[in-house]
Amino acid sequence: MALVLEAQVTVGGTVLEGGTGEPLPGASVILRNAEGKIRKYTSTDANGAFALQSQSIQGYTLNVSLLGFAKQTFSLDSVSLPLTIVLVPATTALKEVAVKADRIREQGDTISYNVGGFAQAQDRSIGDVLKRMPGLDVSNDGRIKYQGEDINKFYIEGSDLLGGKYGIATNGISHDDVGAVEVMENHQPLQVLSGISFSDKAAINLKLKGKAKAAWTFHGEAGAGYAWQPEGAIWNGEVFAMAVMPGFQNITTLKSNNTGDNLSGLATDFFASRRETGLSRYVELALPGVPSLKAKRTLFNRSALASTNSLWKVKNGELKTQIDYTFNRAVAQAANITTYFLDGGNRVVTENRDGRDRSHSLSGKFIYEVNQKTTFINNTLRTNIDWDDMRLNVSGTLPNGQSASLPDYYVANDFKLIKRFKGKHLVTFRSDNEWESLPQTLSVSLGGSKLGQHIGDHAFYTHESAAYTFSVKGVTVGLEGGVKGYVRSMKSELSGMADFPDIQGFSTVVSTNYFTVYATPKLEYWVKRVNIILNAPLSFAHYTFSKALANRSELYFSPLLSVNWKPNNRFSLTLRGSSGRSPMNLNLIQPGYIMTDYRSFRRGVDDFYTSTSQSVSANIAYKHTRRGLFANGMVLQSWSHLPYTMAQQLFGDYIVYSYADAASDGKRLMAMTNIGKTLYFMRGSASVKGSFSRNESHLISQADAVNSVGTGWSLGASVNGTPLQWLGFDYSFDFSNSRLAIDSSKNSWLCGIENTLLINIMPHPKWEWRIKGEHYRNELTAGAYKNAFLLDTKLVYKLSKRIELSATIDNILNQRSYNYTTYSELSSFESQRRLRGRELLLSISLRK
């Protein structure tokens, strides 16, 4: 009986193409049992025929499939053998996973990151993807660092359209339009200096995909919705247009939102050097502080940005214009309630602060540049106007109102010409001119009285120089000489101080001018793997001060040495050391009292001081591109010696900050490390970073010397990836711990922990569902913690390649406040801050 049952059955047949009736060779034929397990399989021969032997076919099914044809499945219980199977052409839907070569490639000094290899489904801009590339670090404000050092150029297809305002590109350009991100190590942007002057900085170049080149690309997003706190409508809109053509480039973008994203940072020039006009605000009005949560949770804003940037290639050079306007209006509220436990009952002091800050900024930059092997010419004209109006009201036990108007006007022109002769000789001419005006008005109403502080502050700076450099066999010797001139006048007027008839100095006029002649010898040794640079600037400065101080002359010498060693392509070590004297901040020279807020005054110095400082630092970088491993570390120690010390004195309800004639020493130690690694197995990456800092300083308070030491360290880790076809995630963890010790009394360590997890579920190519949680744990006083948990979600529907619809709910749990109370033996302190409440936003995004 068993023998009968074991008789072999032959399942055979022919596979033909629908329509033509032609036999189909190479089709897969699979015989499965009732449980769906594969029992036998074969493929069709040149005649489309197949045959399988099986001991049983009871409950069995037969699958026939061929690439490019619809799959067929038969139950063998209901068919007669041999079979004739007709396959109809159909798309075999492949679940595609981009085929890529190595995710990071290295060719000489250039490392190329494959953007598709790092992008996760939730990413939009190229900036989102840059953050995931090991070795690159993008800080919250958008600044890019490679192996711990700021980049020195940001190119799009080899052209420098945006200069230091590359945040416009990293936040705007869709990562879909970028094929690769190239990092050029030791990038010397000036062709005339190539081979003569070493650069330890890296540059970034975006290589666009073909479709984004030689045509305008557009994308935009419009979203509207409702917020539970502050109750009302919310919006978030963006239009981005880009042209990258051989002779012309343009990026134009418009953005606006009131969803907690301050856009004024996007137009920040990360390459801007310090303004030599050196003006700074005396008025120090600030909105109430916000808890240490992400800005998006605490910023109540209306923000707008308009930016247009063009580059034309003309004959030998490039003409560039960059025009930006940003607007941000922020409001903030804070309530502090202090309860003093007294024998006769509690005394409660409340303070409610309510502020509004409105800032506009308009800037224009016009550049002409020739960057060739023998000639470099650059002329840059910069204009900048800022308006900043602030209003701050305090109600409660000590009610007052403050408002400030703080506009700033700035114009500068920089010209630079470098010529290279016979390959080895360089001549450089420079002329920089800057003008700035910083008028400041502060009005305070306190009790019944009104106070008004007006400051007029103008400065003009000019710098002309010439330099000659020659290079032979890796040694470059140069000498730069020049003159600098500076004229500044400041006028301060404080009205309404009738209560203090004895005190003089509520109105001040001061001018601080100088004329400097300097010479800077420069020696550079650059052979194979070692580069040594020695700069030894020597300058003579003559200062004149109208009335306030006696004129004086000073000699400054501030040598700087840097050594770079790169034994191979993987490892690099840089040591730097500097020492020198420098003049004091001229803004401090001012004999009167200037009101900086409703209860603080600043009194300047009545003598001219010079300070000295030293610093040494070491940077180490290691990379192994094939393994996707990047690591860097930095240690910096600096010392400063000031012959004056800041002092703080109380006069009734007022605090006066002044400077006392006493030596003050400061010492600073900083260490940082960052390690990044690709995680190929889940198409992701991970990074770990840590930092340590220790600041030691001296301050004279109420005629006592105070020695304070601030110590802090932090640890952070992040990991992201797509471990499953339908699942992606992004996780980050940050821990920070800090302590302030004053003299021998040490405060306790206070720590903060932040955990962020985003999970992206992609059940279908057209749908994505994201859920994001943020958890904060902040230590308020020793052992007392404040926890906050915020939850967001987003649903995305991809209607087509060009249209995407999404619905976002931020702060689902509708956490509206961040309140906490701390206790000491004799009092309690309660702080109340508002958070952005639940928000629903419906968006549509389009792209061309």
Partner 1 sequence: MKKALALALLLMVSASCLARNEYPRAAVKVSYSYPHKSLKTDAKAYDSEYQLVLLASPSYSKFYSPRTEFNDSLDSTPAGRAQSRQIMSAAVSKYMETGDESVIPMNHGTLYVFKSAADSIVTVYDSAGMMNFGTYTEPLAEMNWEVCDSSKTVLGYDCIMACTDYHGRHWTAWFTPEVPLQDGPWKLCGLPGLILEAEESSGQHAFIATGIESSDMEIRPIYTKKKYDKMSRRDLLQAQRNYLVGGASEVMTFIRNAPDGSSIEVEGTKPADAPDLHVDFLETDYH
Closer CB to partner 1, 23 or 364, in the complex? 23
CA 585 to chain centre: 29
Sign of CA dihedral 305, 129, 675, 146: negative
Structure tokens given for 685: 């990456």
Instruction: Indicate whether 42 belongs to the interface with partner 1 (CB under 8 A).
Output: yes
- Is residue 86 close enough to count as binding partner 1 by CB under 8 A? no
Choose which of 91, 273, 702, 800 interacts with partner 1 (CB under 8 A): 91
Which residue of 14, 28, 393, 832 would you call a contact of partner 1, by CB under 8 A? 28
**Of 33 and 558, which CB lies nearer to partner 1 in the complex structure?**
33
Find where tokens 């297809």 sit: 157
* C-beta of residue 219 within 8 angstroms of C-beta of residue 848: yes
Q: For partner 1, what does the binding mask look like between residues 158 and 187, x meaning CB under 8 A?
A: ------------------------------
Residue with Cβ nearer partner 1 (98 or 703): 98
**Minimum separation from the CB atom of position 66 to partner 1 (A):** 6
Please report whether residue 620 would count as binding partner 1 according to CB under 8 A. no
Q: Rounded to an integer, what distance in angstroms lies between the CA atom of residue 768 and that of residue 722?
A: 13
Q: CA-CA distance, 680 to 625, in Å (whole number)?
A: 13
Minimum distance from CB of 624 to partner 1 (Å)?
9
Report how far residue 428's alpha carbon sits from residue 377's, in angstroms, rounded to the nearest whole number: 10
Q: How far apart are the first and last CA of the chain?
A: 72
Query: Is residue 736 within the footprint of partner 1 (CB under 8 A)?
Result: no
- Distance of closest approach, residue 68 Cβ to partner 1, in angstroms: 4
Is 27 a binding residue for partner 1 by CB under 8 A? The answer is yes
Residue 367: name the closest of 404, 297, 313 by CA: 313
Q: Is 246 in the site for partner 1 (CB under 8 A)?
A: no
Is residue 92 a contact point for partner 1 (CB under 8 A)? yes
Alpha-carbon torsion angle 566, 567, 573, 578, nearest 10? -70
Quick one: 727 or 812, whose CB is closer to partner 1?
727
Strands 153-156 and 203-208: parallel
Between 50 and 146, name the residue whose CB sits nearer to partner 1.
50
Pick from 102, 157, 734, 830 the residue near partner 1 by CB under 8 A: 102
In angstroms, what is the minimal distance from the CB of 687 to partner 1?
22
Comparing CB distances to partner 1, the nearer of 102 and 351 is 102
Nearest to partner 1 of 8, 91 (CB atom): 91
Pick the binder of partner 1 from 568, 702, 800, 824 (CB under 8 A): 568
Is the Cβ of residue 102 or residue 464 nearer to partner 1 in the bound state? 102
Interface stretch with partner 1, choices 105-113, 134-142, 540-548, 636-644 (CB under 8 A)? 105-113
What strand order describes the sheet that includes 110-114? Answer: 104-107, 110-114, 178-184, 203-208, 153-156
Contact between 95 and partner 1 by CB under 8 A: the answer reads yes
Q: What are phi and psi of 201, to 5 degrees?
A: -100, 160
Site string for partner 1, 686-725 (x = CB under 8 A): --------------------------------------xx
| CA distances in angstroms from 6 to 53, 57, 79, 310, 542, listed in the order given | 11, 11, 20, 81, 111
506-535: which residues touch partner 1 (CB under 8 A)? 528-529
Is 726 within 8 Å of 702 (Cβ atoms)?
Answer: no
C-alpha to C-alpha distance for 319 and 159, rounded to whole angstroms: 11
| Window 746-785: residues binding partner 1 (CB under 8 A) | none
Q: Is 801 a binder of partner 1 (CB under 8 A)?
A: no
Work out whether 89 is an interface residue with partner 1 (CB under 8 A): yes
Q: Which of 98, 472, 498, 782 contacts partner 1 by CB under 8 A?
A: 98
Q: Which of 29, 418, 426, 686 binds partner 1 (CB under 8 A)?
A: 29
By the rule CB under 8 A, 340 interacts with partner 1: no
Query: Which of the stretches 409-417, 562-570, 712-720, 770-778 binds partner 1 when contact is defined by CB under 8 A?
Result: 562-570
Taking CB under 8 A as the binding criterion, the range among 38-46, 187-195, 280-288, 306-314 that sits at the site for partner 1 is 38-46
Which stretch in 64-72, 299-307, 386-394, 742-750 sits in contact with partner 1 by CB under 8 A?
64-72
* Closest CB to partner 1 among residues 515, 726: 726
Q: How many CA atoms lie within 13 A of 501 on its CB side?
A: 0
CB 675, CB 689: distance < 8 Å: yes
What pairs with residue 427 in β-bridges? 419, 468
Round to whole Å and give the CA distance between 482 and 540: 11
Closest CA to 463 of 438, 434, 492: 434
Query: d(Cα 519, Cα 19) in Å, to the nearest integer?
Result: 88
DSSP 3-state of 342: strand
Q: How far apart are CA 397 and CA 462, in angstroms?
A: 50
Stretch that binds partner 1, among 213-221, 476-484, 567-575, 700-708 (CB under 8 A): 567-575
CA distance 269 to 651: 42
Q: Is residue 324 helix, strand or coil?
A: strand
Burial degree of 76 (CB within 10 A; 0-12, 13-18, 19+): buried
Q: Which of 165, 420, 566, 677 binds partner 1 (CB under 8 A)?
A: 566
User: x/- site string to partner 1, residues 472 to 511, per CB under 8 A?
Assistant: ----------------------------------------
Which of 5, 37, 274, 501 forms a contact with partner 1 (CB under 8 A)? Answer: 37
Q: What's the Rg (C-alpha) of the chain?
A: 34
CB of 111 to partner 1, least distance (A): 11
Exactly one of 570, 667, 739, 847 binds partner 1 (CB under 8 A); that residue is 570
Q: How many CB atoms lie within 10 A of CB 745?
A: 7
Strand intervals (E) in 315-424: 317-342, 345-371, 375-396, 400-405, 408-421
Taking the least distance from each CB to partner 1, the nearer of 423 and 723 is 723
CB 70, min distance to partner 1, A = 8
**Is 622 among the residues that bind partner 1 (CB under 8 A)?**
no
- Residue 210 in the binding site for partner 1 (CB under 8 A): no
Identify which of residues 569 and 736 has a Cβ nearer to partner 1 in the complex: 569
Nearer to partner 1, 254 or 682 (CB): 682
Q: Which of 68, 10, 69, 19 is nearest to 40 (CA)?
A: 10
d(CA 846, CA 848): 7
**CB-wise, 100 or 848, nearer to partner 1?**
100
Cα torsion angle, 152, 155, 161, 167, sign? negative
Q: Half-sphere exposure of 279 toward its Cβ, with a 13 Å CA cutoff? A: 29
Amino acid at 198: F
Q: What whole-number distance in Å separates Cα of residue 182 and Cα of residue 115? A: 10
Please, what is the minimum distance in Å from the beta carbon of residue 574 to partner 1? Answer: 16
User: Do residues 203 and 184 lie in contact, with contact meaning Cβ atoms separated by under 8 Å?
Assistant: yes
Report the residue from 12, 23, 25, 580 that binds partner 1 according to the rule CB under 8 A. Answer: 25
Among 38, 214, 295, 517, binds partner 1 (CB under 8 A): 38
Question: Residue 763 burial by CB count (10 A; 0-12/13-18/19+): exposed, middle or buried?
Answer: exposed
Q: Is 69 in the site for partner 1 (CB under 8 A)?
A: yes
Chosen residue from 159, 379, 489, 569 binding partner 1 by CB under 8 A? 569
Q: Among residues 121, 134, 129, 174, which one has the least CA distance to residue 728? A: 121
Please give the residue ranges that form the binding site for partner 1 (CB under 8 A). Answer: 17, 25-30, 37-38, 41-43, 46, 63, 65-69, 71, 89-92, 94-102, 106-108, 528-529, 566-570, 625-626, 680, 724-726
